[in-house]
Structure 1
Amino acid sequence: MTGVGVLAVGLLLCFAGLASIHLAVLASGFALGWLLAESLGGSLGVISIVALCAAVVAWVLATLVFRAALLVVGGVAGGVIGAKLFGLLEGDDGNVLLAVLFTLAVAVLAGLAAQHLHDTALVWICAFGGAGLALSGAARAWPDGLEFLRTPDTTAETVIAAAAWLALGAVGWSVQRRWASRRDQSRSA
């Protein structure tokens, strides 16, 4: 899968993650698998297989553990946020064990938030998880000009990448909140 495909999955999660819990699980699992396999230096084929397997595993876990689905979805999408945030903070020089621990910590916190705050937290988690993946996909698709969105080398690149992530995530959050409001209004009518 090229960077454009990763960009598309990221945008789908960013703007429509709450629309379908199945979509959110599959996209978040894919995103987490992709970002972790990529950070470990896998080839494009290996990264794609790991991402697809992670998507299926995430979906199976969410299906089997329906009562804890919000915890799983929030945790998987939170893992995407943790992986992206670690990439912005540490770049290519980060320790792999520290990256895994950091990603897991953010995933657990996001999962707990999603379980307790439901849609409120899921909108944030899906929007910013999807935005992070979309920017990493754009960096892979157009590495000559956008590589810094995945692993910035300078402070200025880090600030720009973080601002782009926050801006795209905020737009995704806004779109998903409007959809959730419309859905809630149609349910109560």
Structure 2
Amino acid sequence: MDPVVAGLVIVAVGLLLCFFGVGSVHLAVIASGFGLGWMLGDLFGANQSTALLLGVLGGLVAWIAVAFVFKLASFFIGIVTGAVIGAKLYGTVSGDSGNWVLAAIIVIAVAAACGFLADKYRRRALLWLTTIGGAGLVLGGLGRVSPDTLGFLRDPSAGWEQVVSFLAWAALALAGWLVQRKLFAKRLGITRGEAEATKS
């Protein structure tokens, strides 16, 4: 598969998760599962087609699993989205170390923490998790679309690339957070006073 096409698919899924993740549980589950499958395939050196296939399978498995345990949907979405965040965090801070043990520890720890946060704080936690996870996917996809100029967003080397990659991740996540708060204020239970406080 053409790397640009694969990158654009990842960017599209990331944008959906970042800017519309709280709008639909199904969308959040499928996009998070896709992101987790693709990000893990990418972290461990799978080619474009295999990483996308892992993404599709991840989305399908996540959706089926949530259908069986819908009562625990927030917890499960938190775990899957947390794993996406953990994988992006590992990729951002580790460079190209390829340390599978460290990657597993970071991904599992962040996934578990996010699962518990999502279970306890529900939609408010999912708002943060979907924006952070979606932003990570967008940056990874952009790194695939233009590896010569934006490759550092996907796999930053030590130094300025890590700083810029992290700042871009934070800025995009914040933009997604602001958009989702505005679009889904009623679903999030945000009062008019809270919305006004966010604007000022």
Please give the range of the TM-score, normalised by the shorter of the 2 chains: over 0.9
Whole-angstrom CA distance in 2 between matches of 1:26 and 1:144: 30
CA contact 2:78–2:129 (8 Å) conserved in 1: yes
SS in 2 for 1:13: helix
1:134 counterpart (138, 150, 160) = 138
Q: How far is 1:50 from its partner? A: 0.9
The question of 1:19 aligning with 2:17 is answered no
* 1:53 has 2:57 as partner: yes
Equivalent residue pairs, number = 186
In the other structure, the counterpart of 1:70 is 74
TM-score, length basis structure 1: 0.95
| Residue 36 (structure 1) aligned to one of 14, 33, 40 | 40
Residue type at the aligned position of 1:176: Q
| Correspondence for 1:125 | 129
1:101-180 correspondence to structure 2 within 5 Å: 101-180=105-184
Residue 44 of structure 2 contacts residue 98 of structure 2 at CA under 8 Å; is this kept in 1? no
2:124–2:188: 8 Å Cα contact kept in structure 1? no
* 1:171 shift after superposition: 0.4
String of CA shifts for 1:117-138, please: whole Å, max 9, x gaps. 0011000000000000000000
Shift of 1:184: 5.8
Give distance in 1, aligned partners of 2:187 and 2:132.
21
Between the aligned partners of 1:176 and 1:104, the Cα distance in structure 2 is 27
TM-score (normalised: structure 2)? 0.90
- Map Cα deviations across residues 89-143 of structure 1 (whole Å, 9 max, x no partner): 1011140121022101101110110010001100000000000000000000111
The alignment yields a C-alpha RMSD, in angstroms, of 1.4
The Cα shift of 1:183 comes to 4.0
Amino acid at match of 1:89: V
Moved over 2 A (4+): 182-185
Q: Matches of 2:112 and 2:184 in 1, distance apart?
A: 24
| Distance in 1, Cα, partners of 2:70 & 2:9 | 29
* Distance in 2 of aligned mates of 1:158 and 1:184: 33
Where structure 1 has 5 or more consecutive residues not aligned to the other structure, the ranges are none
Within the candidate set 62, 81, 85, 2:85 is matched to 81
